[in-house]
Amino acid sequence: MSNPKHDKGEHFLLTPKAEPFMERVIFNNRFIILVAFFFLTIFLGYNAAQIKPDASFERLIPLEHPFIVNMLKNREDLENLGNSIRIAVAVKDGDIFNEQYMETLRQITDEVFYLPGVDRSGMKSIWTPNVRWVEVTEQGFQGGPVIPDGYNGSRDSLEKLRQNILKSGQVGSLVSDNFKSAIIYAPLFEINPETNEPLDYKAFSSVLEEKVRTKYLAQNPNVNIHIIGFAKKVGDLIAGISSIALFAIVTITMTLIFLVLYSRCVISTLVPVLTSIIAVFWQLGILNLLGYGLDPYSVLVPFLVFAIGISHGVQIVNQVALEVGKGFDSLTAARLAFRQLYIPGMLALISDAIGFLTLLFIKVDVIRDLAVAAGVGVAVIIITNLVLHPLIVSYVGITKSGVAHVQNHNDKTDRKWRIMSFFAHPSVAPISIMIAILGFGLGIYYQKDLKIGDLDAGAPELRADSRYNLDNKYVISNYSTSADILVIMVETPDEKCSSYKVMDAMDRMQWVLENTEGVESTASLVTVSKHVTKALNEGNLKWFELPRNQSIINSSIQRAPSGLINTRCSMTPLLVFLKDHKAETLTHVVNVIQGFVAENTSDDYRFLLAAGNAGVEAATNEVISKAKDMMLAFVYAVVSILCFITFRSIRAVICIVTPLGLTSVLCEALMAQLGIGVKVATLPVIALGVGIGVDYGIYIYTKLEHMLIEGKPLQEAYFQTLMSTGKAVSFTGLTLGLGVFTWIFSPIKFQADMGVLLFFMFIWNMIGAIWLLPAMARFLLRPDKMVEKARKAAKPV
């Protein structure tokens, strides 16, 4: 070997002998390997293009949680309950009783009636004939459609309409309390009975935008249209995902610019970007081959893969430039760079991968998918950026300007690194440690407010100011409805769901719940029965009670909404409307329900938790809060063990892991302060942050140890480390941060939350590695002992 210094090898590594072997295999067959990689890329690229978006609801929920098991068991019976849309047509000026408004409402009703997927028989609006006014008269009931006979838009017929609406009892449900808007309610078929196709949420949502919102806003400037419902939300989410493509372009462009500025070399810019993109292709291709799709969470993994790829690529670029600067040809420089970096690189990537794999502890499919996707991504980076990259460089080399840029350092440019090397200075280090302790203290203090679950109102997946959430807010504040529904499934023997015993138990549970903090109201078959019994008794409120007589109960629920009773009458849902879906609210309400169930059991019925968005969320929260600490403990244990195996020194482990711990604590404090809860989207970030953050520490520590073993005093060793690795690390931190920064602008709230947190963790981990690690090293490392140990190890056996 031309440079004997490198032949000594990294004696402290686990398998020092493996290094030249791996290097020999790879570089002696570099052409064949390159060709193989080329075809592999074509194959996997083709597969990557086949990958399908996968926004299935089931993957978002913890399927093994008893709540969810219960929900899925009763899924068919619950279907009628949930899937519907509401279109609120609001008038800007005046009230709804004007001719133009009514005409627009009529046209939209007709339009919605003909939309594919709409269950026409269940549709309701004041323009559908099933919405009627009813009046008790001496002869019995009298009624008719709310739109009066011979309606012609005249003042008289509008007045008649107003009277009918008041009599219909639809104020608060189909007409807002202030008469400034009316709702068109359309239940949807999950499977279209005409075509047998499942509802295409994306298409349905865009048809609504096009044929309802856009069309009628243009037609009648005096109206506003608000659309809510599960189908619309999912449609908006899917639409939001497509903005990812834009983020990808922005991220790649910014990375290119940064790389040019950093390396001043076209080749050193293009090769890492190319290999990182190849890594993304491989990752997506492998996922497709494994049968995975891309969901709103795992769609972010390619960004991570790209960013991690770049960060390792930068290390290679940096090292190659240094070696070429020493006068080696590009092949030798590439080999030397490979030799120096593949162990710390691999160690870093394996820690990343294991960090990701700890996510498998969380029994929610999207998180597990994310773990697999990220794990695969990191594994391919080992090949693309640690093998492919140096191989390509061995052919193309780097430009002179790149080499010149690396060599072109003088006292002036070095000064910032010189200043930073003082982090290892004996009088600066204690200050740093003090600051870190203070940081831990503050972090732990503010972290107290950290909440589990989603904290924002409305659809938490979307931004608070998104169209959907604004629409949702409008509807909730103008109508008697809540967006947060917990459904208790009441199971009974067949044909017993409406028996007095069952209904009585439900009634009492409802009252207990209505007296529970966080519950706004409840509804069930009992509510229907009481209202109808009252109505059947001439509207006399003295009859507002659950009838004990079964035949009266039966007639009172004859026309109950279909979702409230299944065909066998063996399950009836009890709906609990909550004021929000914060974790405390959910836990409290769930505890009250479980308490009631424990105290009142019977063979006649079983109260099962829980469906509804709040039920799912309650289950998810439980899973998340249980998994959180275990996951963190595991990820730290793995990272520590890997570091220990590599460096054979507890002191080294402490030096590397402490800055990560500080970041984790501060990150949780940040979450608490920004109102970001620990949820499906953010829990993975905590693991990813640790996994990726450890890279910095590993690279820096490797170099620092190397320098110390060469006999340099700590501060000088650290200065040398900063000049080479430190530079790359700080650049890496910025690139990684940049890679996820664009997510902050995602229309999807949880992607934005992930973006904020990852950005913080990448940047702060980098700061921690550069600032806190040397301070720790000042107190913990014994350079003289390290030199001695190295000498011993270097002796031939």
Partner 1 sequence: MRQGLKNLVIRFTACAALSIVAVPGFALQDVLESKAMTTEKAPSSLLLDVVKAGNRLVAVGERGHIIFSDNQGKTWRQASVPVSVTLTAVHFPSQTQGWAVGHGAVILHSADAGETWEKQFDGNVANEVVIGAAQRNVAALEKALDSASDDKKSKLEAALDEANFALDDAKADSEAGASKPLLDVWFKNDKEGFVVGAYGFFFSTKDGGSTWENAAPRIANPDRFHLNAMNQVTGGAVFIAGEAGVLFRSVDGGENWVTLESPYEGSLFGVAGNGNVNEVTIYGLRGHLFRSVDMGDSWSGVDSGTESSLMGSFASSDGSMYVVGNSGTILVSGNAGESFKSRVREDRVSLMSGIMLEDDSLILVGENGVVIADSQGRSK
Do you find a cis peptide bond into 321, omega within 30 degrees of 0?
Answer: no
CB of 182 to partner 1, least distance (A): 18
Residue 141 identity = F
* SS3 state of residue 178: coil
Cα separation, 510 vs 607, whole angstroms = 12
Among the listed residues 149, 194, 465, 599, the single contact to partner 1 using CB under 8 A: 599
416/26 Cα distance (integer angstroms): 38
Nearest residue (CB) to partner 1, 472 versus 478:
478
Backbone torsions φ then ψ of 53, nearest 5 degrees: -65, 145
Binding mask 532-561 for partner 1 (x = CB under 8 A): -----xxxxxxxxx-xxxx-x---------
Q: For residues 218 and 598, which CB has a smaller minimum distance to partner 1 in the complex?
A: 598
Q: What distance in Å separates the CA atoms of residue 117 and residue 192, rounded to the nearest whole number? A: 5
Nearest approach in angstroms of CB 165 to partner 1 is 12
Token pair for residue 633? 């403990």
For the chain, the 3-state helix, strand and coil shares in percent, each to the nearest 5, are 65, 10, 25
Residue 17 or 542 with smaller CB distance to partner 1: 542
Least CB distance to partner 1 at residue 526 (A):
12
DSSP states of 61-128:
S-TTSHHHHHHHHTHHHHHHHH-EEEEEEEESSS-S-SHHHHHHHHHHHHHHHTSTTB-GGG-B-TTS
State the number of CA atoms in the 13 A half-sphere of 517 facing the CB. Answer: 7
Q: How far is the CB of 132 from partner 1 (least distance, A)?
A: 18
Q: d(Cα 485, Cα 222) in Å, to the nearest integer?
A: 33
Specify the residue, 505 or 708, whose C-beta has the smaller distance to partner 1.
505
Q: Which two tokens stand for residue 84?
A: 């519907």
258 binds partner 1 (CB under 8 A): no
**CA 701/CA 695 separation, integer angstroms:** 10
Q: Give the footprint of partner 1 on residues 173-232 (CB under 8 A).
A: none
Task: Tell me the two tokens of residue 697.
Answer: 């520490």
Q: Where are the alpha helices (DSSP H) in 422-524?
A: 429-447, 467-478, 500-514
Residue whose CB is less far from partner 1, 172 or 426: 172
**Binding partner 1 by CB under 8 A: which of 495, 514, 784, 788?**
514
Q: What angle do CA 255, 256, 261 make, to 5 degrees?
A: 95
Does the protein bind partner 1 through residue 504 (CB under 8 A)?
Answer: yes
Among 512, 560, 654, 787, binds partner 1 (CB under 8 A): 512
DSSP secondary structure string for all residues of 184-196: EEEEB-SB-TTT-
Specify the residue, 474 or 543, whose C-beta has the smaller distance to partner 1.
543
Structural contact between residues 190 and 122, judged by C-beta atoms closer than 8 angstroms: no
- Interactions with partner 1, residue window 61-80 (CB under 8 A): none
From the list 227, 232, 225, the residue with the least C-alpha distance to 203 is 232
CB of 275 to partner 1, least distance (A): 59
Q: Are 725 and 698 in contact (CB under 8 A)?
A: no
Three-state SS at 391: helix
Question: E strand or H helix at 619, and its extent?
Answer: helix 612-647
Nearer to partner 1, 312 or 530 (CB): 530
Least distance in Å: CB of 583 to partner 1? 25
Q: For 130-265, where are the alpha helices, taking DSSP H only?
A: 155-168, 201-207, 215-219, 230-241, 243-263
For the CB of residue 166, give the shortest distance to partner 1 in the complex, in Å. 8
Q: Residue 141 Cβ, how far from partner 1 at the closest point, in Å?
A: 12
Nearer to partner 1, 592 or 757 (CB): 592
Instruction: Decide: helix, strand or coil at residue 175.
Output: strand
Stretch that binds partner 1, among 192-200, 411-419, 423-431, 593-601 (CB under 8 A): 593-601
Q: How far is the CB of 120 from partner 1 (least distance, A)?
A: 32
Q: Which stretch binds partner 1 (CB under 8 A): 143-151, 212-220, 597-605, 772-780?
A: 597-605
Closer residue to partner 1 in complex, CB, 166/266:
166
Reduced to 3 states (helix: H, G, I; strand: E, B; else coil), residue 737 is: helix
Interacting residue with partner 1 among 11, 160, 425, 508 (CB under 8 A): 508
Nearer of residues 103 and 514 to partner 1, judged by Cβ: 514
* Residue 311: closest CA among 3, 734, 707, 661: 734
Q: By CB under 8 A, what part of segment 135-154 binds partner 1? A: 135-138
Closest CB 769 distance from partner 1, rounded Å: 48
Quick check: 602 binds partner 1 (CB under 8 A)? yes
Residue pair 639/691 in contact by the 8 Å Cβ criterion = yes
- For partner 1, the closer CB: 270 or 535: 535
Task: Give the dihedral of Cα atoms 758, 678, 356, 689; nearest 10 deg.
Answer: 30
Q: How far is the CB of 740 from partner 1 (least distance, A)?
A: 49
- Of 595 and 711, the one with the shorter C-beta distance to partner 1 is 595
| Residue 542 C-beta: closest distance to partner 1, Å | 4
> 3-state secondary structure string, 477-488?
HHCCCCCEEEEE
**Distance in Å, CB of 525 to partner 1, minimum:** 17
The interface region with partner 1, picked from 280-288, 508-516, 563-571, 684-692 by CB under 8 A, is 508-516
Q: How far is the CB of 136 from partner 1 (least distance, A)?
A: 7
How far apart are CB 554 and partner 1 at their closest, in Å?
12
The nearest distance, CB 544 to partner 1, in angstroms, is: 6
197 φ, ψ (degrees, to nearest 5): -95, 145
Nearer to partner 1 by C-beta: 488 or 761?
A: 488
Of 48-56, 490-498, 502-510, 643-651, the segment contacting partner 1 by CB under 8 A is 502-510
Positions in 100-139 near partner 1 (CB under 8 A):
135-138
| Cα angle 764-757-308, degrees, rounded to a multiple of 5 | 70
Name which of 543 and 771 has its Cβ closer to partner 1.
543
Report the residue number, 51 or 96, with the smaller CB distance to partner 1: 96
Applying CB under 8 A, the site for partner 1 has a residue count of 31
Interaction of residue 505 with partner 1, rule CB under 8 A: yes
Compare residues 415 and 531 and give the one whose CB is closer to partner 1: 531
User: DSSP assignment, residue 154?
Assistant: -
Q: Which residue has the tokens 């067959």?
A: 29
Which stretch in 85-93, 226-234, 510-518, 741-749 sits in contact with partner 1 by CB under 8 A? 510-518
734: left (phi over 0), alpha (psi -120 to 50) or beta: alpha
Which residues are at the interface with partner 1 (CB under 8 A)?
Answer: 135-138, 166, 504-505, 508, 511-512, 514-515, 537-545, 547-550, 552, 598-602
